Amino acid sequence: MTGRDALERRLAGRPVGLDDAAARAARRFAEQAAAEGAAEVAYATVETPVGVASVAATPRGVLSVGLPSEAVDEFLGRLAIRFSPRIVEAPGTLDEARRELDEYFSGRRQEFDLPLDWRLVPGGFYRKVLNATSRLPFGNTVTYAEIAARAGNARAHRAAGTALGSNPLPIVVPCHRIIRSGGDPGNYGGGPELKRWLLELEGAFDT
């Protein structure tokens, strides 16, 4: 197409402050959409000593936690596919979850007092394993075999490991407290270094 003349350039000029005004309007929209439930999922990011974590919630409770090893975009993409694409960033809606996570990561909180939305957890044995895990106290560790036993099947330690590996609520459902029988921390969705860091934070693991 031909070049724009002066009038067209005047019309196309982006007004001063439009981007900021649009960002503000979008934030207001997102909070309202989350509060009304028009958006099925609200998310926010949380700064931690080991990087940026993400947290997502529905009106029922916390749906998923994204560890710093997972980029926020990946976390959201996963939720969009597995749960709903109607996701907005609404830190106001997630005030309490953000505060508790912040306190945990800075060593000022040992237990979470948050409603959880378990809909990303398959039923059956997976759910039993994660339920048993959610009752593990701060600073305590158990083996994969032990958590399998608590979930009702002592021989299913491999299946327990798979269930823990799929935990959509790490930290809040503390799967990092399940370790190998020899005392080695073992695998972790957020990487073995993070698992070690969390256990050290809880005084459960001596370097």
Task: Compute the distance between CA of residue 170 and CA of residue 53 in angstroms, rounded to an integer.
Answer: 11
Query: Does 10 interact with another protein (rule: CB under 8 A)?
Result: yes
Task: Compute the distance between CA of residue 176 and CA of residue 157 in angstroms, rounded to an integer.
Answer: 15
- Give the x/- contact pattern for another protein in 108-147, rule: CB under 8 A: ----------------------------------------
Q: Which is nearer to another protein, 80 or 154 (CB)?
A: 80
Task: Compute the distance between CA of residue 59 and CA of residue 141 in angstroms, rounded to an integer.
Answer: 32
CB burial class (10 A; 0-12, 13-18, 19+) of residue 207? exposed
Q: Which is nearer to another protein, 57 or 148 (CB)?
A: 57
Query: Does 205 interact with another protein (rule: CB under 8 A)?
Result: no
Q: Of residues 49, 60, 80, 124, which one binds another protein by CB under 8 A?
A: 80
Q: Which is nearer to another protein, 36 or 113 (CB)?
A: 36
User: For residues 34-63, which are near another protein according to CB under 8 A?
Assistant: 38-39, 43
Instruction: Give the number of other CB atoms < 10 A from CB of residue 107.
Output: 11
Q: Which residue has the tokens 């309490």?
A: 96
Task: Compute the distance between CA of residue 205 and CA of residue 207 in angstroms, rounded to an integer.
Answer: 6
Q: Of residues 13, 108, 182, 207, which one binds another protein by CB under 8 A?
A: 13
Q: Of residues 46, 57, 76, 160, which one binds another protein by CB under 8 A?
A: 76
Residue type present at position 55? V
Q: Of residues 63, 87, 130, 194, which one binds another protein by CB under 8 A?
A: 87
Active site residues: 175
